[in-house]
Structure 1
Amino acid sequence: MKKITITSKSFTFSLCLLAFFTFCKSPQKQEKMVEQTANTYYSMEDFSSIKKFDTHFHLRSQFDTLFINQAAKDNFGLLTVSVYTSPNRTPEDQENFSLKMVRDFPDIVSYATTFSLDGFNEEDWVSKTLAYLEKSIAHGAIAVKVWKNVGMELKNDKGELVTINDKKFEPILKLLTEKNITLLGHLGEPKNTWLPLEEMTVQGDKDYFSENPKYHMYNFPDFPSYDDQIEARDRMLADNPDLRFVGAHLGSLEYDVKELAKRLDRYPNMAVDMAERISHLQYQAITNWQEVHDFFIKYQDRLIYGTDLRTSASDIQAKGLTQTDEIASHAHEVWLRHWQFFTGDDEMNVPKVDGSFKGLKLPKSVVDKIYRYNAEKWYPGLLE
């Protein structure tokens, strides 16, 4: 008979195996593991019970109250954002409607104002703009939006395109710093804008720039480049280190979380919202899931949830949605799909991305920050 020798190492290993299998068979231990998971992560069932903010929204007419009603059901507060796009939709008109929404829905709506670019080359433009912003802030605006027409359309008296680091904006940036008001900046565009439509990485960009060819920079090689736009914004941040800044749409650095991380490291006064750019994160997660996940963990204090939802959005138009219940259902689906991406780890397919990817399954503490606490931090006065 072969003699079996039991060494101290093999005995210890056997004990470990026994303990492991005993643990696995123990109902009490298994229940504890399930309980710990429940305490660490949210599920789809938690969606409507958790207070959340969508910090990049556009309420423009009484019809848009359909979004407010859906937000109440889904436990969202909304930051409605005014945008100066043309003289036809004045900042005053937008502000008056936003104030009505704030009065009618004080537990759901806050607003960000903007300012007109009319008369930019006139001597009194700065003084008029400062007076208007003082009034808006006194009325309750908690942020000021500047749009991509700064850098892509606005020209000085020499016919040159004006970027956000132009000296004429300095008094405005100083006022916002002194008043402790956040600047929300949609400066530049997705890097896809400088590509042909067929080479763009996500369907949302293909839809938007096919509908808005004047912003499809691939067709305008004489205009400032993507890098020119980003560098102008970065110089503004470097020159105004005390200005609280939220870069709309992932700061127009949506294509690479590594590039966005560089700016967040360089500019501690900068956070970003994710409005209409979550599909770019999902696109990156197809091949670099761990990188996207780790980015959220590392920069969890600098990322703010937003969607850019509005009745005129490209996906709503593409679907041909016109009825209140259809549009409200679409908003709910978008919000729910994003929640699934952030909280779950299932394989997902979404309309704007070709290919499947896994949800990020972020801890509750991170999800709470991106949906609520970062919004309250970077937008003081939200729903006060």
Structure 2
Amino acid sequence: MHTLRIFTIGFVVAFGCPLFGQDSKSTEQPRRLYLDEFRPQPSLQVEEHILTKAKFPCVNVHTHPKKLTDAELDAMVDAMTEANIPVSVSLDGVVGPEFRPHYRRLTERYPNRFVVFARMDFIGDGDKDKPETWAVNQPGFGLKTADALSEAVKLGASGLKLTKMLGLYLRDGDGKLLVPDDPRFDPVWQRAGELNIPILWHVADPIAFFRPTNEYNERWEELFRHPEWSFHGKDFPEHQELIDARNRVIAKHKQTTFICAHMADVPEDLKKLGSYLDRYPNMNVEIAARVAELGRQPYTARKFFLKYGDRILFGTDGVPPMSELIPHFRFLETYDENFPYEDNPFPPQGLWNIYGLGLPDSVLRMIYHRNAERLIPGVKEKVAAWRKRN
């Protein structure tokens, strides 16, 4: 019988594995490893399906191409073409003078390949180090921003992107964190509904980021590398407080469509997320950067995707190369087992592999493109143009 003992000392893991019936003193002792040196290679032999393109035209509703060079942008579009992604949504527009150049760069250089969402400008002409000077803390911010959103839509915006800055970083004139359901934003939520554009909202981060960074935190190594990602303590709200505040906005603005990023920031509890979708018919979700969480619970996730397939959209976050798109397609389309969710040799979101859901074509079509065509202005026409050309 083999025994395995794991000791964590700071960032160190030591292994001892004496063989049965053998004097451990006579065996060679494995050297002590740092945790970031540990690269286990599975001995498991199972079928693999390396999918380099989506089975159906796929709309990526969560990308960030603004800072790319022209060459990098060309590479992104090449990867989209190879992967059967006719349209990507850039979430990098900003209401005001910055919107037009970003929109024109994408849509003129690559006709029919992008739609662009706008973002609120919280700071305006204020001093970034003095919250009391920020635009968000000036009278009439909500209505002014709503009007700026209307102007962005006239210029081509297809939606509004909201980041976790609201709830975790944005402060009022007294230095207190603003809550996501602060009434100053009501004119913006209402205007989005009147304009018939969706709000794609990232309100929190993984639950582990709101818990103590200790030996019980399953994302400890990630938080060790990025301590600035921890929202435990200080004056940060609890994870559920942010979720509840966002949900109150969704409940209040029933005529506005919401696409909640990263599986509504609760992929760790799909039963809870399902209760939200049941309660709020104007709420939808997208899978960006949460395949790692979904793929380690394949039975629960498959049931969820079959039940709520008309409310789930495809997304990746960032600007994924083919190597990062492949796990997404395998997760959705195959029954592959125990495969990496990232091309990074040291997984960034948890020390585990994932499993495929093997979704039926009817659900895949909804997740890949039909839900985006229904919810996001401009997408349906661009997908149709792609089909005509291909």
Which TM class, normalised by the smaller chain length? 0.7 to 0.9
2:376 to 351, 376, 379: 379
Q: Does the aligned pair in 2 maintain the 1:197–1:206 contact within 8 Å?
A: no
1:241 to 250, 254, 271: 254
Q: Distance in 2 between matches of 1:69 and 1:150?
A: 34
Q: Does the aligned pair in 1 maintain the 2:336–2:355 contact within 8 Å?
A: yes
Shift of the 210–381 alpha-carbon distance from structure 1 to 2, 3 Å rule, reads: farther
**2:267 is equivalent to residue 254 of structure 1:** yes
Partner of 1:60 in structure 2? 66
Q: Distance in 1 between matches of 2:61 and 2:214?
A: 29
Q: Distance in 2 between matches of 1:212 and 1:117?
A: 25
Q: Does the aligned pair in 1 maintain the 2:56–2:368 contact within 8 Å?
A: no
Partner of 2:109 in structure 1? 104
- Deviation per CA, 1:326-348, whole angstroms, max 9, x where unpaired? xxxx6112111111111111213
Q: Distance in 2 between matches of 1:45 and 1:349?
A: 13
Partner of 2:301 in structure 1? 292
Partner SS for 2:180: coil
Q: Does the aligned pair in 1 maintain the 2:52–2:325 contact within 8 Å?
A: no
Q: Distance in 1 between matches of 2:331 and 2:55?
A: 17
Q: Does the aligned pair in 1 maintain the 2:163–2:201 contact within 8 Å?
A: yes
Partner of 1:51 in structure 2? 57
Match runs of 1:111-150 below 5 Å: 111-118=116-123, 119-150=135-166
Q: Distance in 2 between matches of 1:253 and 1:236?
A: 17
Deviation of 1:210 (Å): 4.8
Larger Rg: 1 or 2? 1
Match runs of 1:295-374 below 5 Å: 295-310=304-319, 331-350=321-340, 351=342, 352=347, 353-374=350-371
Q: Distance in 1 between matches of 2:226 and 2:380?
A: 34
Q: Does the aligned pair in 1 maintain the 2:118–2:152 contact within 8 Å?
A: yes
Partner of 1:313 in structure 2? none
- Deviation per CA, 1:67-100, whole angstroms, max 9, x where unpaired? 122112212120010277xxxxx86435522331
Shift of the 297–48 alpha-carbon distance from structure 1 to 2, 3 Å rule, reads: closer
Partner SS for 1:348: coil
Deviation of 1:257 (Å): 1.1
Q: Does the aligned pair in 1 maintain the 2:88–2:114 contact within 8 Å?
A: yes
Deviation of 1:240 (Å): 0.9
Partner SS for 1:301: helix
Q: Does the aligned pair in 1 maintain the 2:99–2:152 contact within 8 Å?
A: no
Q: Distance in 2 between matches of 1:215 and 1:167?
A: 27
Structure 1 gaps, min length 5: 1-42, 85-89, 311-329
**2:231 is equivalent to residue 217 of structure 1:** yes
- Deviation per CA, 1:212-250, whole angstroms, max 9, x where unpaired? 5334112x3432111111111111111111110000111
Partner SS for 1:347: coil
Shift of the 192–158 alpha-carbon distance from structure 1 to 2, 3 Å rule, reads: same
Question: What is the number of equivalent residue pairs in this alignment?
Answer: 310
TM-score by length of 1: 0.75
Partner of 1:5 in structure 2? none
1:75 to 57, 81, 84: 84
Deviation of 1:372 (Å): 0.8
Q: Distance in 2 between matches of 1:80 and 1:103?
A: 14
CA RMSD, 1 decimal: 2.3
